[in-house]
Amino acid sequence: MALSEASEKSWDEPADRAAAGPLSSRKRPLAPPYVGRIARRPQQPPVPLSLAPGAVELTGPVFGTADVSPSDADLTRQHGGEPLGERITVGGRVLDGRGRPVRGQLVELWQANAAGRYRNRLDRHAAPLDPNFTGAGRALTDDEGRYRFTTVRPGAYPFPSAVHPNAWRPPHLHFSVFGSAFTQRLVTQMYFPGDPLLPYDPIWNSVPDARARERLVAVYDPELNEPEWSLGYRWDIVLDGPDATWTEEGR
């Protein structure tokens, strides 16, 4: 999710997307300005790391075959029963700016359940919790940079806003890619195609570039379907370059 400049327009006022190519003829979806980016800014001056130059890049996550198992990527098999909701398979590739696969990367996923509630003590949404769904998983990319998760499609949930009292967040998945050091961690969000809530979402609309917003939306991919089990969505994560996936702090 990119928390960069939000639209200054109101919910009821039309505006054009400033984008080249086929997206230029579309109207830019509107939402109230997203103020969370301001609240997330550090309030204290940075603290310099007491490490030799470059050492921080050498102290990152190191994983062996026993640390991340294939079962960690199946969020529907983490409890004794089946979670409620529509089962989905989400897969794609982690790539660098030149389109090369990024191998052995830790990819984490977390999400709300099918009713739109997180298993978090701070989530006070009146939707029910699912005793068979925790909402968190992880996977390592293979030699082609591919990752794959099985989960349930999350539900929408209310998003209290000072600008609009009846805002709802569209269903989305949170993703994290660690890189080779913790300082390189990328955190972003994936959305679902054809969602009618997207035009009204201040976080999605905080991405100023229309093409970058579209890259946060997954593509339905029947090749990822599991027969009689789950629907498939493809979503690639690009770490740098002009097609980079937007993060919480922009690009």
Q: Which of 28, 174, 213, 215 is catalytic?
A: 174
Instruction: Please report the pLDDT score of residue 117 as a whole number.
Output: 97
Q: 205-219 as b/e, with b when 16 or more CB fall inside 10 Å?
A: bbbbbbbbbebbbbe
Q: Which of 157, 191, 200, 233 is catalytic?
A: 157
Closest to 201 (Cα-Cα) out of 211, 212, 209, 213: 213
The superfamily (CATH) of domain 21-32+66-238 is Aromatic compound dioxygenase (2.60.130.10)
Element (H, E) at 214: helix 210-214
Instruction: Please report the pLDDT score of residue 8 as a whole number.
Output: 29
User: Please, are residues 21 and 210 in contact by the beta-carbon 8 Å criterion?
Assistant: no
Question: In this structure, how many other beta carbons lie within 10 angstroms of the beta carbon of residue 32?
Answer: 20
Rounded to whole angstroms, the Cα distance separating 116 from 139 reads 23
**Token pair recorded at residue 168:** 């709802």
Q: Which of 138, 169, 213, 215 is catalytic?
A: 169
Instruction: Please report the pLDDT score of residue 35 as a whole number.
Output: 65
Q: Which of 28, 37, 93, 118 is catalytic?
A: 118
The pTM (predicted TM-score) of the whole model is: 0.79
Instruction: Please report the pLDDT score of residue 5 as a whole number.
Output: 28
Instruction: Please report the pLDDT score of residue 29 as a whole number.
Output: 52
Instruction: Please report the pLDDT score of residue 67 as a whole number.
Output: 81
Instruction: Please report the pLDDT score of residue 208 as a whole number.
Output: 86
Query: Catalytic site residue 191?
Result: no
Query: Catalytic site residue 172?
Result: yes
Q: Which of 37, 172, 213, 215 is catalytic?
A: 172
C-alpha dist (Å) from residue 210 to 9, 110, 151, 154, 199? 16, 25, 28, 24, 12
pLDDT along the chain (251 residues), means of 10: 31 36 47 65 72 52 66 94 97 93 93 96 93 95 96 94 78 90 82 95 89 96 96 94 73 46
Instruction: Please report the pLDDT score of residue 236 as a whole number.
Output: 97
Domain boundaries, the chain: 21-32+66-238
Which residues 6+ apart lie within 8 Å of 209 measured at CB? 19
